[in-house]
Chain A
Amino acid sequence: MADAYLRQSPLAHLGLAARAAIPPEDIEGTEAGVVLCERPARHQIGLRGDARRPAFRAAVKGVLGFAPPAKATTAAGGTGLPRALWLGPDEWLVVTDDDDAATVADLSEALARQHAHVVDLSDARAVIGLAGAGARDVLMKGCTLDVHRRAFGPGRCTRTLLARAQVIVHQITQAPDYDLYVQRSFAEYLWAWLEDAGTEYGVRVTA
């Protein structure tokens, strides 16, 4: 993790906090079908290991409170934090609070004697929140993933391409409400794409 005084969101220069502070009644146009926000910084931990080994599952469960999800393209941990997102059959992204520095240390210690891998990736990706009635339609514009409610619902996550940028899509609630984890060098591009794609539904920025 970078020193705190050097840390800056890749979207910091867009003034999103100021836009979010504008009262909705002061914004012209129709109701917002797409609600975008930048999620607060989170601790993101790359975790790799063999999920078939009980010792590995037990060690992770001892730290997080749940085992890493073995089922493909699912997330564990529900709507709160920490969460574990399935990225591959032996690869997960563990997401915790930004001030939770203990988890990465605890995971490293718990898995020290195993063939496993724990690395802090917190500043590698920005997290964009996408919600609203038009959120699914916006995703469909730039993503080949089947996001129909029968195929992709709450608690599902996967890596895929959105507007040609690699993202991790995590659907949190049925509403729908998505988290988009995007590499920080793509974050500004993806934000601009999302705003453009959402224009026809009306875009509102929240904190």
Chain B
Amino acid sequence: MLLIPCPWCGRRDESEFACGGEAHIARPADPDAVSDAEWADYLFMRTNPKGAHRERWVHVHGCGRWFNVARHTVTHDISAAYKVGEKPPGDAS
């Protein structure tokens, strides 16, 4: 089991959370302007990396908040948890 550091509640057991998939996927600003292929890419295509991954989690049985987690998909090492709207740690862009 993972011990997930909720930005509000602190370290809690994984059973209190639900995972919402990959983070930082921006919805096209004007959906009518993009091609079907681009829309399908937004809807369905995920990076699915073996290694560092940023994903959304929700503390559903806690404070109820969505936030982002930087997790290594092989070692499960969680290097950071940060609130929605904040930049990922180590991201200079």
- A binding-site residues for B, Cβ under 8 Å: 72-73, 87-89, 91, 144-146, 158-161, 166
Contact = CB atoms under 8 A, between A and B. Distances in A.
Interface string B1-36: 000000011111101100000000000000000000
Interface residues of B, number: 13
A7 to B, nearest CB: 27
Contacts, number: 38
Interface of B: 8-13, 15-16, 61-65
Given A144-B13, A144-B15, A158-B9, A87 B64 contact: yes
B13 A159 contact: no
Given A87-B64, A88-B65, A144-B16, 19 more contacts: A72-B8, A72-B9, A72-B63, A73-B9, A73-B10, A87-B63, A88-B64, A89-B63, A89-B65, A91-B63, A144-B12, A158-B9, A159-B62, A160-B12, A160-B16, A160-B61, A160-B62, A161-B16, A161-B61
Contact of A159 (B10, B15, B61): B61
Nearest to A72: B8
A160 B17 CA distance: 10
A89 B59 CA distance: 12
B15 A88 contact: no
A155 to B, nearest CB: 16
Contact of B15 (A72, A89, A146, A161): A161
Contacts of A161: 15-16, 61
A168 B59 CA distance: 14
B12 A145 contact: yes
Contacts of A89: 8, 63, 65
Contacts of B63: 72, 87-89, 91, 159
A73 B59 CA distance: 13
A119 B31 CA distance: 37
Contacts of B64: 87-88, 91, 159
Contacts of B13: 144-145
